[in-house]
Amino acid sequence: MSKSFNFYKGKIYFIIRVEKTMDKIRKIKVTLKSRQTLEGAGVRLKRAFGYADELLDPFLLLDDFHSDDPRDYIAGFPWHPHRGIETITYMLYGKIEHGDSLGNGGVIEAGDVQWMTAGSGIIHQEMPKKGKNDSLLWGFQLWANLPASHKMMDPKYRDVKSSQIPEVSLNENKVKVKIVSGELNGVKGPMEDIITDPEYLDVTLIPHTEFNHPINEGYNVFAYTIEGEGYFDDKKEELVGKETLVIYRDGDTVNISTLEDGVRFLLISGKPIKEPVAWRGPIVMNTNEELSIAFEEYQNGTFIKHK
Ligand code: FE2
């Protein structure tokens, strides 16, 4: 009896040790194809998600603009308010002109990122422009929530030029990663000190390649495919094609691999806020009362707090 107990005790110890040293590969919860929708003054775009979900928290929305027909985007996003969130715009091609009610303005061009913290409130417009020689517009806008403690912070713009975004090559150049925020192999992205500790990576894998990337346990992570196809966990049950959202369960590592095709995707993670979400249009607060106040202030001209 005691002999066999000792035998099992050894085995259990061994299993616990293996378990502790092995990565906990995150499994796919669900994959969702992005959906065509109309936004702003009539912009045709694809929405990867636009709802509060405990597996996407602190992120609220991801839009994919991709068209070479100016009629799909030229109407743009005229004057509108934001409060309680951050909007992160990343352009692959084309440009968006930006201006706000405080007189800030600029152009987000191919490869650039604008990390805009609306905080207590901004009123801005975002207007895509047709290029001189070609009309392709391609980019993404992500919305990240702010915790109650920071919803009414002063607004802040961080304009990051493409030349400021480092690219790291891994696995004998089979994997390339542009780091907007986060850290890889000791290389840090330009966006730091963001409250939800987000990591924002633009990752490209050539065919027959594997990429393992650590992500803090308890953080939420999703991938959004831009081009090509790949497996997004180690079960390899589904080859995920372009324009698809991959939502993950918990773990400490993501595992992505390719077969005949390469794949390019955004890999985005952050620390969940775990607070109630009250959301109407471009304003996201914790309670309906705070939402009503925000819209009332917008109507009576007291919305902007920061001068
Ligand atoms: Fe906006």
pLDDT one-digit tens code per residue, 43-88:
999 999 999 999 999 999 999 999 999 999 999 999 999 999 999 9
**Of the candidates 151, 149, 181, 150, the residue with the CA atom closest to the CA atom of residue 166:** 181
Q: How far is the CA of 42 from the centre of ligand 1 (A)?
A: 14
pLDDT one-digit tens code per residue, 105-137:
999 999 999 999 999 999 999 999 998 889 999
Q: How far is the CA of 77 from the centre of ligand 1 (A)?
A: 7
pLDDT band at 1 (very low <50, low <70, confident <90, very high): very low
Q: How far is the CA of 254 from the centre of ligand 1 (A)?
A: 31
Q: How far is the CA of 98 from the centre of ligand 1 (A)?
A: 9
Checking phi first, is residue 13 left (phi over 0); if not, alpha (psi -120 to 50) or beta?
A: alpha
Phi, psi of 96, rounded to the nearest 5 degrees = -125, 125
pTM over 0.75: yes
- Domain 28-274+285-300 fold is Jelly Rolls (2.60.120)
Q: Which residues contact 31 (CB under 8 A, 6 or more apart)?
A: 232, 238, 240, 244, 245, 246, 247
Q: How far is the CA of 15 from the centre of ligand 1 (A)?
A: 51
Q: With beta carbons less than 8 A apart as the criterion, state whether 84 and 129 touch.
A: no
Q: How far apart are CA 140 and CA 59, in angstroms?
A: 14
pLDDT one-digit tens code per residue, 160-191:
999 999 999 999 999 999 999 999 999 999 98
Taking the alpha carbons of 98, 104, 106, 108 in that order, is the dihedral positive or negative? negative
* pLDDT at res. 11: 56
pLDDT one-digit tens code per residue, 218-258:
999 999 999 999 999 999 999 999 999 999 999 999 999 99
pLDDT one-digit tens code per residue, 271-292:
999 999 999 999 999 999 999 9
Q: How far is the CA of 158 from the centre of ligand 1 (A)?
A: 15
Q: How far is the CA of 124 from the centre of ligand 1 (A)?
A: 6
Q: With beta carbons less than 8 A apart as the criterion, state whether 42 and 69 touch.
A: no
Q: How far apart are CA 126 and CA 97, in angstroms?
A: 6
Residue 88, amino acid: I
* pLDDT at res. 21: 53
Q: How far is the CA of 28 from the centre of ligand 1 (A)?
A: 30
Q: With beta carbons less than 8 A apart as the criterion, state whether 81 and 123 touch.
A: yes
Q: How far is the CA of 38 from the centre of ligand 1 (A)?
A: 14
